Structure 1
C-alpha cells in the first residue's frame, strides 16, 4: 500500500519542478513511511510514498520500463492478489522480471496488454502510468473503489493523487468548496466521481482515465451488472465457501506481520476462522476495539443489542487466535488533537464522529504490531446484512436506505447546521435527483417481480454508493498510520456472484446474510453464527458527551470562527447547556458534526462559495 501523486503538463517543461512535486508527495508520507521516490520528464512528474508489504527490497517506485519508443513509468498503490499467476503468464510470453513485486507485474502487464491489464487484475489498486511512447497518462482504479485516486484538470493537463491533499498542495489547485460540494457532503448521497472540492474528481471504481494533449477521457472496464443466477441454494452456498477460501488464502500473502480485525460478528468471525484454517491454530493474530467500562456498563440502543466482547471471546476460544483488545480511554477519544488528525486524514468536512476517532486510534495501536490487517468490511452491503434492508417501509422508500430514517450517524435532518443554509442547499431535491440517477443504473431481469427488483436496487445502492464511503473511511484511517487494511468481501468475483443471487436465497433461513452463514457456520460458535447485525461500536461514556459540550463552548467563544457560516450558533449554545447525561443521540451527532467541520476548516482553510 502506498501513496501516489503527479503532475502532467503539455505546455511546460517539468524537469525543474522537483520542489512542487516533493511538496505533493510529502503530504502522503503517512501512507508510505518506508520510502519515497520521484521521476520527472519534460511533461510528466510522478511521486511515490511506499509502504513495503511485498518484496521489501525490490518494489521501489516510481518503476520504469525502457522501450525503444520511450520510457513507461508506473506509480502504484495497493495489492494485486493474483500477481503470481500473471507473472507466470507474462514469463511464458517472454517478459523478464527483475523483482518479485506485484508492482513490476502490473507494469509488465501494461506493456503487454495495454490498459486492458486492468481486466486481468484481482485486488485493490489505484495506479498511474506515464506512457512516454504516446505521451499520455493512464490512471486505473480497482473495481470496488477500495483504493482512492483523484484528479484535477489544469489548463494544459492534470494533477492527480491518492488523496485530495496531494492535489491541494499544488499552487494551481484552488481550495474551493462550492454549493454543490456542500450538497454532496451533507446529503450522504455518496455520488461516484464526486470529490467535494470544486473542479476535482475521483476516478470512479472500475474506470480507466486517459489524459493526453487532446484532453481527458474516461472508460469503464467494469460495472456491477444484473445477470441470471442459475445455481440452486446448496450450490450457491458451496460456491460462496469456495470463493471465500480462495480469497482469504490470497489475501494472507505478505512479507510483513499480518492480523485480522475481529468484532465478534459473523463477517469478521468467518474471516478469522478461514485464516486459521489456512495458517493453523494459534497462528492468527486478532485485534478488537473496546472502550473503558463499556462491557460492564453497556446499554442497548436502536442499533446495538449487545456488547461485542463476549462474542469476540467466543471466537478466540473456538478458533484459537492470539488476541488483544485495544481499550480506548474516553479522554483520548475526546482529545481535540485526535479529531484534528482525523480531519487531516479524511480531507472531507463530515464523518461518523467517534467511530472515525476510535477507528484511527485502533489502527494506530495495531500498527505497532502488524503492517497488514484483514477486515470484514462490505459483507453487509453484499450479503444483505443491515437491519434497515429488512424493514418494509425502507424497502419501499424512494430514498437512499441509509437515510430513509434517522438511524446511526447519517442524520438526514443535518442537526447543528444553519437552517437558512440548508434551505438554500435544498438537500432533499439533491438527494432525490441522486437517488433517481442511481436506480437508473440497475438492470431488471425478465421474470423479476417488483419486490425482487426493489431488493436488487437495495443491494446495488449499498455496493455502489454506501460501500464507497465506508471503504474510503477505512482507507483514510488506516493509511494515516501506515497500516494496510485488506477487505476480502470486496473481491469482485464474490460481489458479482452474490449480487445476482435472488433475495429469497440471501434470506433463506429467515435471517439476514443466509448465504454467508450457510457457507461458514460450521467454522464458528453458534453464538456468533446466529448473532444479529451489530455495527462498529460507539462509546457510551457520558464523559465523551460532556467533552463535546465543553469544546462546543470553546468554539462559541471564538465568535469569528469560519464554522459559523455553516453552523447554527443558537442550536450549538442550546446543545452545550444540556445535562451531559441527557444528551441524546441526535444532539451528540450534531455536536460531533460541528466540531468536525471546525477542525476541517482549521486544517484546510477552504474558500466556501455558499449559495
Structure 2
C-alpha cells in the first residue's frame, strides 16, 4: 500500500514555477511517509502535481511511482494506493489487445487499463484502491476509490485548485489550507462520531471521495459520480446452492488476497471470521511449502478481570489455541499494557487526523506496530458481521421499529455532555436525522419486497455504508500508520453483492447467528470454533484503565487553556466521572461505552490543540 497526494490547477502552468510547486507537492507527500516508507517520487506537468510514497508489496523494482507510460507520444501518469486481486486476468486481456508490459506490478496494469478503457477501467478491477491518473490527451485527471472504501481518498476544491490525498493530513500540508471546523463538522464529531457521513471530511471544505465513486477533473468542471452500487435482485438459488456459492466467493477472495512478494500473515482471534481466513490461508501457504504466521490480541491481566456476559461470552485465548493447533500456524500472542493503551490515544488521532474509536483505535495502533516488526501484509476477518448479519442490532425488534442508526441508540447521552450554548447553535438531531434519511434513499429494493424485507435491506445497507466503512477507516489508518497493509477478504464486492440479496432466513439458518457462513465453512474449522458464539474485538476489563482516563480528563477540564472548554459541559462530565462506572451505556456500537466516551473527549481536546483547529460557529 502507499500514500498519494497532489493538486490540479488549470489557470496556470505549474511547470513555470517548478521549484515552488515541487516543494509544495513534496510536502504533501511527506505528510504520508508512514503509508509508504520504502520509496517516494514526485511529478509535475503543466496543470498537475503528483506525489507518491510507496510501501513495497509486489515487484519492488518495477512498481515505482509516479508511474509513466507513453502511448502515441502522450505520457500518462499514475499515483496509486492499493492492490489489484485480478491483476493477471486484466494483464492478459490487455496483452491480447497489443499492449506491452515492463513490470509484474499491478500498478502498470492499472495505468494501462485506464489507457485502454478510460473511466470504465474500474469495471475491470477487483481490489482496493485510491487512484489518480493524469490524462495528457484530455488534459484531465481521473480519480477513483474502491467499491467499499477499504482505501481512503480525500479532496478539496479551493480557489482554482483541486487538491487530493490519501489522508487529510496530506491536504492540510498544503500551505493554502487551514484546519477549520464549522457547526456541521461539530455535528459530525458529537452527533455521529466516530462515524462519518460518507463523503464528509469533517474539516470545512474537505471531502471524502465516497466508496464506489470516481471523479473526472478538467479545466471546465469537476464531475464526481457513482460508478458502482449494490443492486437489488431476486435470489433464485436454494439454500444448498447459496452455501456452495458463498463458500466459493469467500475462499476465492481469501486466496486472491494472499498474493504478495513480502511476508504475509493473518489476524487470528479464534472467532469464526478470522478463523476461516486463517484456515484457508494456512492451506494455501502449506501447498507452497510455507507455514502461515498468525497473531492474536489481548490485554495484560485481562484474564484476571474478565467476566463473561451476553456481550462478551468468552475469552479469545482458548479458541486461538484450538485454531493454532488445527492449522499448525506459527503464532504470536500480543498483549497491550493499560498505560500504552492510554498513551497511544494521541497517536491514533495523529493517524486519523480526527478523534476516533478511542482505545479500539489505540490498541490496534499498538498491535500493528508489533506486527510490522516481522510482516508487511496481513489478512483480517473485518466486514463479516456487516454482510452476514452478526451484530445484535440485526435481530433487535426495537431497531426495526425505530428510525435511527442501529449502533447509536442513546442520543441523549451525546447531547448532555455538550455546553448548552453550543448545543443551541448546533442542529445536532436534525443533522443526524438528515444523514440517516439520505442514506435510506439510496437503498436498492425490489417492488416485490415485503415491508419486512425492505427494512432488512435498509439495515443491511446502513451497516455496509456506515458501520463497515467506519471500521475499515479505522483499520486503514491504524495499520498504515506503521506501514502495515491489511486486506479484508470479506469486503470482496462480488461476495457482498451476492449476500445483499440472500434472504435473511438463510443467513440465520436454524436461528443461528451467521448460520450461512458457518455452513459455508464446514470441514475447515474445528466444531468448537465453528459454533462459537460471537465475541467482539477484545477490550480491557482492567479498572485501572478507566481510572487513568478519568485522571487525564479531569486534568484537562482543570486546565483553563484546554480548547475543549469551548464545547463541553464540564460539570456534567465531572458528575459522570464521580459516579459508578457504567459499561452498559453505549456511546457508539458495542465497544464504546462511558469509559470510551472519556477517551473520546481526551482525543477531541488533543485534536483541537495539536491541529490548531479553528472553530467557526
Give the TM bin, normalised by the shorter chain: over 0.9
Distance 1:594 1:238 in 2: 47
When residues 468 and 87 of structure 1 are mapped into structure 2, their CA distance, relative to the original with a 3 A threshold, is same
Question: Alpha-carbon deviation of 1:389?
Answer: 1.0
Q: Tell me, yes or no, if structure 1 residue 309 matches structure 2 residue 290.
A: no
Q: Tell me, yes or no, if structure 1 residue 27 matches structure 2 residue 28.
A: no
1:401 to 402, 406, 409: 406
Tell me the SS of whatever aligns to 1:170: coil
Distance 1:507 1:514 in 2: 5
1:591 to 598, 601, 607: 598
Is the Cα contact below 8 Å between 1:416 and 1:590 reproduced in 2?
no
Question: Alpha-carbon deviation of 1:572?
Answer: 3.6
2:607 to 600, 603, 610: 600
Residue pairs, 1:383-402, within 5 angstroms:
383-402=388-407
Residue pairs, 1:120-131, within 5 angstroms:
120-131=124-135
Residues matched between the structures, number:
603
Is the Cα contact below 8 Å between 2:197 and 2:466 reproduced in 1?
yes
Distance 2:284 2:120 in 1: 32
Question: Which stretch shows the higher mean deviation, 269-278 or 32-41?
Answer: 269-278
Tell me the SS of whatever aligns to 1:401: coil
Q: Tell me, yes or no, if structure 1 residue 198 matches structure 2 residue 204.
A: yes
Question: Alpha-carbon deviation of 1:44?
Answer: 0.7
Where structure 2 has 5 or more consecutive residues not aligned to the other structure, the ranges are 587-592
Question: Which stretch shows the higher mean deviation, 219-228 or 102-111?
Answer: 219-228
State the match for 1:13 in structure 2: 13
Cα displacement string for residues 309-339 of structure 1 (whole angstroms, at most 9, x for unaligned residues): 111112112222111111111121122xx22
Question: Which stretch shows the higher mean deviation, 295-304 or 148-157?
Answer: 295-304
Tell me the SS of whatever aligns to 2:92: helix
Residue pairs, 1:39-188, within 5 angstroms:
39-68=43-72, 70-188=74-192
State the match for 1:225 in structure 2: 231
Distance 1:388 1:153 in 2: 38
Question: Alpha-carbon deviation of 1:428?
Answer: 2.0
Distance 1:469 1:584 in 2: 20
Q: Tell me, yes or no, if structure 1 residue 529 matches structure 2 residue 530.
A: yes
State the match for 1:380 in structure 2: 385
Distance 2:23 2:334 in 1: 40
When residues 415 and 529 of structure 1 are mapped into structure 2, their CA distance, relative to the original with a 3 A threshold, is farther
Question: Which stretch shows the higher mean deviation, 45-54 or 573-582?
Answer: 573-582
Question: Which stretch shows the higher mean deviation, 85-94 or 563-572?
Answer: 563-572
1:210 to 207, 216, 233: 216
Question: Alpha-carbon deviation of 1:396?
Answer: 2.1
Cα displacement string for residues 420-445 of structure 1 (whole angstroms, at most 9, x for unaligned residues): 42343232222221111111112322
Tell me the SS of whatever aligns to 2:102: coil
Question: Alpha-carbon deviation of 1:506?
Answer: 0.9
TM-score (norm 2): 0.94
Where structure 1 has 5 or more consecutive residues not aligned to the other structure, the ranges are none
When residues 88 and 412 of structure 1 are mapped into structure 2, their CA distance, relative to the original with a 3 A threshold, is farther
Q: Tell me, yes or no, if structure 1 residue 330 matches structure 2 residue 299.
A: no
Distance 2:309 2:519 in 1: 28
Distance 2:521 2:172 in 1: 45
Tell me the SS of whatever aligns to 2:509: coil
Q: Tell me, yes or no, if structure 1 residue 570 matches structure 2 residue 574.
A: no
Question: Alpha-carbon deviation of 1:415?
Answer: 6.0
Is the Cα contact below 8 Å between 2:581 and 2:594 reproduced in 1?
no
Q: Tell me, yes or no, if structure 1 residue 609 matches structure 2 residue 611.
A: no
Is the Cα contact below 8 Å between 1:295 and 1:309 reproduced in 2?
no
Is the Cα contact below 8 Å between 1:340 and 1:603 reproduced in 2?
no
Distance 1:53 1:371 in 2: 8
What's the C-alpha RMSD, in Å, of the aligned pairs? 1.9
State the match for 1:486 in structure 2: 487
Question: Alpha-carbon deviation of 1:578?
Answer: 5.3
Question: Alpha-carbon deviation of 1:300?
Answer: 3.0
Is the Cα contact below 8 Å between 1:396 and 1:454 reproduced in 2?
no
Distance 1:308 1:500 in 2: 32
Question: Alpha-carbon deviation of 1:101?
Answer: 0.3
Residue pairs, 1:251-330, within 5 angstroms:
251-280=257-286, 283-301=291-309, 303-330=311-338
Distance 1:103 1:582 in 2: 47
Question: Alpha-carbon deviation of 1:340?
Answer: 1.7
Question: Alpha-carbon deviation of 1:158?
Answer: 0.3
Distance 2:582 2:163 in 1: 49
State the match for 2:590 in structure 1: none
Is the Cα contact below 8 Å between 2:336 and 2:363 reproduced in 1?
yes
Cα displacement string for residues 293-316 of structure 1 (whole angstroms, at most 9, x for unaligned residues): 112431234621211111111211
Cα displacement string for residues 121-176 of structure 1 (whole angstroms, at most 9, x for unaligned residues): 00000110011111111101111111000110022230100001100111222311
Question: Alpha-carbon deviation of 1:12?
Answer: 2.3
Question: Alpha-carbon deviation of 1:412?
Answer: 5.6
Is the Cα contact below 8 Å between 2:243 and 2:516 reproduced in 1?
yes
Question: Which stretch shows the higher mean deviation, 72-81 or 522-531?
Answer: 522-531
Question: Which stretch shows the higher mean deviation, 308-317 or 280-289?
Answer: 280-289
Q: Tell me, yes or no, if structure 1 residue 365 matches structure 2 residue 370.
A: yes
Question: Alpha-carbon deviation of 1:500?
Answer: 0.7
Cα displacement string for residues 256-302 of structure 1 (whole angstroms, at most 9, x for unaligned residues): 01100111111101111111221228711110111011124312346
Q: Tell me, yes or no, if structure 1 residue 343 matches structure 2 residue 344.
A: no
Question: Alpha-carbon deviation of 1:599?
Answer: 1.4
Is the Cα contact below 8 Å between 1:190 and 1:466 reproduced in 2?
no
State the match for 2:445 in structure 1: 444
TM-score (norm 1): 0.95
Is the Cα contact below 8 Å between 1:39 and 1:46 reproduced in 2?
yes
Is the Cα contact below 8 Å between 1:69 and 1:132 reproduced in 2?
no
Distance 1:99 1:160 in 2: 27
